[in-house]
Chains A and B, each alone.
Chain A
Amino acid sequence: MAGAGAGTPAADGLARSRRGAVSLRQISKSFGPQSVLEQISLDIAPGEFLTILGPSGCGKSTLLRIIAGLEVQDAGSVSIDGQPVDHLRPAARVIAMVFQSYALYPHLTVLDNIAMPLRLSRLNLFQRLPGARYLNPGTRLVTAEIEEAARKVAGILRIEELLARKPRQLSGGQKQRVALGRAMVREPRVFLMDEPLSNLDAELRVHMRAEIAQLHRRLATTFIYVTHDQAEAMTMSDRIVVMMQGVALQVAPPKVIYEDPSDLRVARFVGSPTINVLPGRVEAGGGIDVLGGRLPLPAGLPAGTPVAVAARPQALALATRPAGPCLTGRLVHIENLGSDLFLHAAVEGVAAPLVIRHDPALADSPRLGDMVAVALPAARMLVFDSHGRRVALRAEATAARLAHA
């Protein structure tokens, strides 16, 4: 690895690479009459792990492919490290991409697969012909360097013993590593990953999740990771972009996405079990009426405005000594996950049963069919207006301002 060897401080974990700042300006794309991306703007810091999370068909893969240069946007521009790359071919953008299907070359060995990006960039057409290295000592030298680099990457990914195999002889996890190796070998400014774990079984997915996060820390390069799996997004990312119907709804760290969603759709999409949503109405006195109970929440909206009041399962609790607003429901389903017990209570006036997290260690676990009282702690409620936008409560508003500053 001539030159490249010295240029791998990131791989050695010495210094955080300052390359790989990606900036998207008002990217729009439509396929025929259907708009897929609408005015997406995003700034990704060098070395950041950014996950684009959304349901299938939300445009997240299209956005990634536009960054890669595999798709051309209708409007807007992509810059990497301050330079617009819109006119550049994928390879010239110095990015790497890991595909959902891995897209390994089936006729080449693992070593050849990993070495291919370097062969294509460092050897010309004639030097790449079979046997060319026997004719020219210079070519031989470069070929040896390329192989050396490929072996080094294989060492990092612990797949050295697989180098002579063909892709069809590999398991899903091994193919995944080879695909990562092929991406790593050319030391790209940005790694783009399109649902790289979705073809693996559940156990391996959890394992590879940790491994990719580790790899990111080691390489300290920008990762842009597309997934529909909220667990992947929550566990690996520095920041998450939640996308729906071609719109970026919220860009924030995982904790903020989960605890402080700016949109009801974000709140519903992230979190398992799904967040509970109750119909509410702003009252004249400044509170919110939820199914007859009054929550002392200062929404600052005109009286009579319909709102949605949402609460995570762990924000709700069974009320033993009813104090404050409460809902009564019948237990229709109980899920015991060992660490958590999720009680599903059907409440009149709410379409879906409320899900309440309950500690299985508590002795007084209710039974199926019991009538239970559910306490609604006002402090842990999230309020959204009729468009699904988060309503800043007056008490919270100051805190939110502080957080944004």
Chain B
Amino acid sequence: MPDSGALPAAAAVRTRPRHRRHGAVAAVLAGPALALILLFLIAPLACVALLSLTDYQLGAATLNFVGGKNYAEMFSDRVFQKSLTNTLIYVAITVPGSVLLGLGAALLIEADKSLRTFYRAIYFLPVMATLIAMSIVWEFMLHPQFGVVNQVVKVLGFARIDWLQNQSIVLFTLCGIGIWQSLGFNMVLFMAGLTSIPNDLYEAAAVDGADLAIDRFRLVTWPMLGPVTLFVIVISAIRSFQVFDTVQVLTKGGPNKASEVLLYTMYSEGFEFFRSGYASAVTMVFLLFVLGLSAFKVFILDKRVHYT
């Protein structure tokens, strides 16, 4: 609840008679943060929004205002359509996958106190490691001939799978790596949430007759994890929209644009073809999704999730 800290101050300003002086003090105190936000967040955003309306090319001396031409081109572009669809599929698979598996791992680890720190460290490892480096490891592991994954597949008696070269499989392979990578992060958040549930509630549930684990989960754990779950879902969704490293290292959006995603499109348009104006338009679409998710959290879900 980032806004709770501001509440007492706001209340004080309203109730004190000399509120004008307090208002001035508040402005001075909030000033530096406000200036930094303007300088480093709002201004660049505005620049990108403006650039998306121009035909600016990276390094070019001049630029022309072209209105909505970039956007019109973008929405009729097959690559962009593919890229947007792929990103949405990626989010739709990675978010539930990493949230549910993260919750499951957290519940399992919390259920038995032994080796808890060990498991937590193991699951958290992919979060700490650089995804670029991990992607290279995955590249070896997913090698069609010598990769350990296909070796296992072969031992199990199945035909080898072209994890990264098959058009209809590559996106799901990336989803799998995405889940592997963010599972640990979600798990740690869920574990923090689990430890903050008051034990009294579990004891009350035991006295009330919640003898089955599923009853305790439905009556106490799940409702009390509400705020954490919401946070985890939004964070996972935003992180999934940002998928880039694995695509850049493993597939370069291929084969045949089967793993093209928003940020990769933006990167290749902006820094390979130097079409900064067009790349800015793609960025705006990306920002729209991220902002939408944040707004969804702040304005809709926060009101429905109880905080004790």
Contact = CB atoms under 8 A, between A and B. Distances in A.
B220 A89 contact: no
Contacts of A99: 200, 203-204
Contacts of B214: 125
A69 B206 CA distance: 9
Interface residues on A, range: 20 to 34
Specify the main secondary structure of chain A where it touches its partner.
loop
Given A105-B223, A106-B224, A120 B306 contact: no
A58 to B, nearest CB: 20
A105 B221 CA distance: 11
Nearest to B222: A107
Interface in A313-357: none
B206 A103 contact: no
A96 B207 contact: yes
A136 interface: no
Interface residues on B, range: 20 to 34
Contact of A168 (B201, B212, B306): B306
A91 B208 CA distance: 6
A121 B211 CA distance: 10
Given A70-B203, A99-B203, A106-B308, A120 B210 contact: yes
A187 to B, nearest CB: 13
Interface string A85-98: 00001110001110
A107 B221 CA distance: 11
B5 interface: no
Interface string B190-205: 0000000010110110
Contact of B198 (A65, A96, A101, A116): A101
B159 to A, nearest CB: 43
Contacts of A69: 206
A70 B198 contact: no
A120 B206 contact: no
Contacts of A105: 201, 204, 219-220, 223
Given A103-B198, A105-B223, A125-B212, A168 B308 contact: yes
Contacts of B224: 106-107
B201 A103 contact: yes
B226 A91 contact: no
A117 interface: yes
A106 B306 contact: yes
B207 A90 contact: yes
Interface in A57-78: 65, 68-70
A166 B306 contact: yes
A96 B209 CA distance: 10
A91 B206 contact: yes
B203 A89 contact: no
Specify the main secondary structure of chain B where it touches its partner.
helix
A108 B204 CA distance: 14
A101 B202 CA distance: 12
B71 to A, nearest CB: 43
Interface string B64-77: 00000000000000
A103 B200 contact: yes
Contacts of B226: 107
Given A103-B200, A103-B203, A107-B223, A117 B209 contact: yes
Contact of A89 (B200, B211, B223): B211
A120 B200 contact: no
B142 to A, nearest CB: 42
A166 B305 CA distance: 12
Contacts of A125: 212, 214-215
Contacts of B215: 120, 125
B282 to A, nearest CB: 41
A177 interface: no
B211 A91 contact: yes
Interface in B216-236: 219-220, 223-224, 226
Interface string A118-138: 001100010000000000000
B200 A101 contact: yes
A107 B306 CA distance: 7
A331 B153 CA distance: 93
Contact of A97 (B207, B211, B219, B308): B207
Contacts of B206: 69-70, 89-91
A312 interface: no
A106 B308 CA distance: 7
B219 A91 contact: no
B223 A70 contact: no
Nearest to A89: B211
B302 to A, nearest CB: 14
B252 to A, nearest CB: 47
A182 interface: yes
Contacts of B198: 101, 103
A192 B165 CA distance: 66
Contacts of A117: 207-209
Given A97-B207, A120-B208, 9 more contacts: A95-B207, A103-B204, A105-B220, A105-B223, A107-B226, A117-B208, A120-B215, A121-B209, A166-B306
14 contacts: A70-B203, A90-B203, A90-B206, A90-B207, A91-B209, A97-B203, A97-B204, A99-B200, A103-B198, A103-B201, A103-B204, A105-B219, A117-B207, A120-B208
Interface of B: 198, 200-201, 203-204, 206-212, 214-215, 219-220, 223-224, 226, 306, 308
